[in-house]
Amino acid sequence: MKTFGSLKALVLGAEEDAEKFFTKGNRAAGTRLRIAMQQAKLLSQQIRVEVSEGKKKK
């Protein structure tokens, strides 16, 4: 559940950069957003592994 919380915080933190990029065209915010989305991808994969391991234990 800790990893899920990290993912949630990451996405919420990236919301401001997404708004800056999509509404104002701020390219630096777009770069920060891409980095955050890459980190979200990695955290999502980690969550998938944790879920699979949890299902195997039961």
Q: What is the pLDDT of residues 22-52, one digit of tens each?
A: 999 999 999 999 999 999 999 999 999 999 9
* Cα gap 6→9, rounded to integer Å: 5
In this prediction, residue 19 carries a pLDDT of 97
Collapsing DSSP states into helix, strand and coil, what is residue 55?
Answer: helix
pTM of the model: 0.84
In this prediction, residue 39 carries a pLDDT of 98
pLDDT higher than threshold 80 for residue 18: yes
Count of CA atoms in the C-beta half-sphere (13 A) of 10: 19
Q: Confirm if 5 and 43 have CB atoms less than 8 A apart.
A: no
In this prediction, residue 1 carries a pLDDT of 84
pLDDT higher than threshold 80 for residue 58: no
